[in-house]
């Protein structure tokens, strides 16, 4: 394990890094920010992950619905997520062009929604429905090859906000209509993924419920990222 001793890491940024088992001893961390998949985190001898998760559930009750195994809860989760995104899109429309601005090397709001277009096509249509159709061209997928620009994706596209929203509305309607009919038995079944080398390869063997969970979690998490960055952008515009 790499050791950093008496190093000045003031302002350092660790992006998409695997810090499993990392140990920070005797560190000074005022104003530090940790954002990611954090479990079993011990701070000064106290395991704090449970506190963090409980507070996130308090702030965002939809998280509990997303974790539920009950179809009715999952239907309600999808509807709440759709409503949250609708409010954020209304907010974006009040400042034309803000959807193309980004901060801290994160995706813009437009790019975030285009990624969710891809998430729906891959994790819902392929994994939950067994679709073999090409992905929606405007979608933004993983950066790794050969998946970066494959199976119908076209990164040269620059769709307008209205074009992106129309696709996302159609996808939300498709998901909610499916959830209105799906049963607990269908959710527990093995995902009917086509046997092709198309994203997401590591989903093979998972249940339909687990693949649906990825769709709902991605919709929730990326909405949080989008709102966070819109706050920062609007703050900079008003200063």
**pLDDT tens digits along 32-82:** 888 888 889 999 999 999 999 999 999 999 999 999 999 999 999 999 999
DSSP secondary structure code for residue 16 in this structure:
S
Q: What is the pLDDT of residue 25?
A: 86
Closest listed residue to residue 209, CA positions, set 182, 188, 195: 188
Residue predicted with more confidence, 95 or 238: 95
Average pLDDT on 183-205 reads 95
pLDDT in tens, 134-183: 999 999 999 888 888 889 999 999 999 999 999 999 999 999 999 999 99
Closest listed residue to residue 92, CA positions, set 106, 107, 110: 110
Q: What is the mean pLDDT of the chain?
A: 94
Closest listed residue to residue 70, CA positions, set 232, 184, 169: 184
- Does pTM surpass 0.85? yes
List, as one string, the DSSP characters of 144-170: STTTTT-TT--TT----HHHHHHHHHH
Q: What is the pLDDT of residue 163?
A: 98
């Amino acid at each position: 394990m790499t050791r950093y001793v008496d190093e000045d890491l003031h302002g350092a940024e660790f992006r998409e890094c695997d810090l499993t088992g990392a140990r920070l001893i005797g560190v000074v961390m005022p104003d530090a920010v940790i954002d990611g998949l954090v479990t079993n985190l011990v701070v000064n001898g106290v395991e704090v992950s449970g506190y963090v998760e409980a507070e996130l559930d308090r702030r965002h009750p939809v998280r509990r619905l997303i974790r539920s195994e009950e179809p009715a809860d999952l239907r309600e989760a999808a509807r709440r997520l759709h409503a949250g995104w609708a409010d954020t899109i209304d907010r974006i429309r009040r400042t034309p062009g803000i959807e193309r601005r980004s901060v801290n090397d994160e995706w813009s709001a437009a790019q975030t929604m285009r990624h969710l277009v891809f998430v729906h096509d891959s994790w819902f249509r392929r994994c939950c429905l067994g679709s073999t159709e090409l992905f929606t061209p405007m979608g933004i997928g993983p950066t790794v090859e050969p998946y970066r620009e494959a199976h119908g994706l076209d990164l040269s596209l620059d769709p307008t906000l209205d074009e992106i929203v129309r696709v996302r509305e159609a996808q939300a309607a498709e998901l909610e209509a499916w959830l209105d009919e799906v049963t607990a038995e269908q959710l527990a079944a093995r995902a009917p993924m086509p046997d092709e080398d198309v994203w997401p390869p590591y989903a093979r063997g998972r249940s339909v419920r687990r693949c649906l969970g990825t769709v709902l979690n991605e919709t929730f998490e990326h909405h949080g990222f989008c709102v966070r960055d819109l706050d920062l952008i609007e703050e900079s515009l008003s200063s």
